[in-house]
Amino acid sequence: MKQLLIRADDIGYSYAVNVGIARAVHEGLVRSVGVMPNMPETARGVDWVRDADIAIGQHTNLCLGDPCADPAAIPSMVDEHGKLISSRTYREAFKRGEDFVNYDEAVIEIEAQLARFLAVVGRDPDYFEGHAVVSANLNRALAGVAAAHGYRYQPASFDPAATVTCGNTPVRMVLRSMTPDYDPAAAIRETVEEMGENETVVFVCHPGYLDQFILNTSSLTTDRTKEVDALISPELRAWLEAQPDLKLVDYRDL
């Protein structure tokens, strides 16, 4: 039996993103959602999906907005204004072969975001991973904090041929947004058709609508709106449910 896990990242990113994710949960196919603990709209977004039967994970945000920890305690991770260093800075450092993040400081911020997650969500995360960062020290810190608390860690890997282990399950991650002429419904169908026997795939989405904040801070814009439409499509749901060897799962099943 093939297993498809459709994940929606970025609850809390902005008001409009929350609206799109809520629709994808309540009207659509999403059963696993990632919470950005440090953002101003996080509590509102969580409230909008709190009563749904879904897995809720910590989508640890280490590259946008204010940290949850005291900026003075994590100097390698903040800029001169005390804001978290941008994902662009991480990518540029990675290209140079540099990792500017201090491991111990990363643990401090990840733990602070976990405390915020627990306060807002009111229970432990069903899975644990990170948002849009390229840093070996950050990934090691995420894995370490997850292990210390006994949480299900989702390593990031978007190599279409690579398999990682989440919980007790080998999974392959697929992210197709921002590809030329992206058609989310077609991408999900193609992913299912290409899956191997008994394979589990995590299809990563970022459904959402657009407001000025998301337009100012993210390079992922209109593809978010396309994903909302695809994920609430009755035609896509019917096609997935008609596949005889496919099961739709969430992180609690891994």
CATH number at residue 237: 3.20.20.370
The predicted model scores a pTM of: 0.95
- What is the tally of structural domains in the chain? 1
Amino acid 36: pLDDT: 98
Amino acid 4: pLDDT: 98
Radius of gyration of the chain (CA): 17
DSSP state of 58: E
CA distance 85 to 18: 23
Q: Low-confidence residues of the chain, pLDDT below 50? A: none
Burial of 24 (0-12, 13-18, 19+ CB in 10 A): buried
Amino acid 94: pLDDT: 87
Amino acid 156: pLDDT: 84
What range does the domain containing 52 cover?
2-253
Q: What is the pLDDT of residues 56-99, one digit of tens each?
A: 999 999 999 999 999 999 999 999 999 999 988 988 998 899 99
Burial of 94 (0-12, 13-18, 19+ CB in 10 A): middle
